[in-house]
Amino acid sequence: MSPPTPPASPPTLSAYRRREQSITLSPIEEPLEGGAETTDELLTLNFGPHHPATHGVLRLLVTLEAEIVRDVKPIIGYVHTGIEKTAEDKAYWKVIPVVERMDYLAYYFNAMAYIGAVETLLEVEVPKRAQYLRVIHLELNRIASHLIWLGTSALDLGAVSIFLYCLRERELILDLFEMSSGARMHTRYFQVGGVIEDIPSGFEPKLREFLKVMPERADEYGSILNSNEIILQRLRGTCPLDAETLLSLGVTGPLLRAAGNPWDLRKAAPYSSYEDFDFKIPVGTVGDNYDRFAVRLAEIYESVKIISQALDGLPEGPHITGDRKVALPPRHELATSMEALIHHFKLVTEGFRVPPGEVYYPIESPRGELACFVRSDGSSKPARVHMRDPSFVNLQALAPMTRGSYIADMIATTAMLDPILGGIDR
């Protein structure tokens, strides 16, 4: 399917458009008597926290002048669950399911950032097969996250059917997660030193089937949305922000790439064998809402490419490190080896100890630079776990993006910002 061309302008106006243009609007308000103009009045509007267009429990205090947004103040913390505090009270390997629940659409990424930091502290060698398996799951998760973003964003803009299509494809991904780990969300699949289990037989053909289907489906999303005049009018040219301002606000990920800066940690500072794969980084040109949409949609194709390369080149070998001090021994060894039994007991009761130090480990999540800071004091529990969540930092860009635009564009921009409140509030 070839990419659809945008609808041509004036000469070939449809009957509908001509009718629409023939409607004349009278000036909305005459100036009030006494010299004061209605437009001088500022209205403060509380938006959320329970509003479907805020993508979670985000509350925005919007200052409006008529329909123009003059300022936006995000108020957050409604789903603050103290995950960073909880993590300090758990052994290193028990922290993994806790941090996975931060950014609930990108659970593999949370686990990867945390595990990467712990592995750096421990200086554990991760087997190549485990790295490839991680890449496969990370990129599948990226697609799933982008699908939810695409579906809910389109829903905000009035396109309902695309939401159902996106969830249909996400279901395929969740089925794959269920196959490899037994859980559909928050899988605890990544472990320190590798992954918990090798992929089962039957995973590969199912994944290949998905890889075949996904680009076709993404083509369909593209052709539905790119030929939808309402979507295009609400996205094109609305709320742009240049790369320099975005950088000063700390914004990374698709939002920055939409403004033309090709910064992507998978390319710039590869981790988990990303240097082995051949993929492109989609970038936008002007950084408006349409570019943000187009960049993410294009990323789905690139993720499919990465997954198929990782699947083709999946090396043989162990799926987790053989270092018994950090990884559980295989189940069958427990019956025959005393040493394995002792290691198992030590790991399950106390956990492993990590050399003292501090590490900041950044990775590229679907929303930008997701980094985990871990400080170890030498015990078996982390002394501090901090997640630099991209949603939290990117949210600061909402006000500069939307100032001076219509309130309806603010809804579109919030959707294109892709904030995940679980990650923002942690």
Q: Please give the residue ranges that form the binding site for another protein (CB under 8 A).
A: 76-77, 80, 82, 84-86, 88-89, 120-121, 123, 247-251, 263, 268-269, 357-360, 362, 369, 371, 373, 375, 383-384, 386, 388, 392-393, 395-396, 425-426
| Partners of residue 63 on adjacent β-strands | 44, 71
Give 303 or 376: the residue with its C-beta nearer to another protein: 376
Minimum CB–partner distance for residue 261 and another protein (Å): 8
Minimum CB–partner distance for residue 250 and another protein (Å): 3
Minimum CB–partner distance for residue 247 and another protein (Å): 6
Give 227 or 396: the residue with its C-beta nearer to another protein: 396
Q: Are strands 357-365 and 368-376 parallel, antiparallel or unpaired?
A: antiparallel
Give 56 or 151: the residue with its C-beta nearer to another protein: 56
Minimum CB–partner distance for residue 30 and another protein (Å): 38
Give 142 or 426: the residue with its C-beta nearer to another protein: 426
Give the C-alpha separation, 265 to 18, whole Å.
48
Give the C-alpha separation, 274 to 132, whole Å.
9
Q: How far is CA 386 from CA 84, 210, 367, in A?
A: 6, 35, 17
Give 169 or 264: the residue with its C-beta nearer to another protein: 264
Give 136 or 370: the residue with its C-beta nearer to another protein: 370
Give the C-alpha separation, 57 to 76, whole Å.
8
Minimum CB–partner distance for residue 120 and another protein (Å): 5
Minimum CB–partner distance for residue 54 and another protein (Å): 17
Give the C-alpha separation, 374 to 122, whole Å.
12
Give 167 or 383: the residue with its C-beta nearer to another protein: 383
Minimum CB–partner distance for residue 170 and another protein (Å): 29
Structure tokens at 314: 């999946």
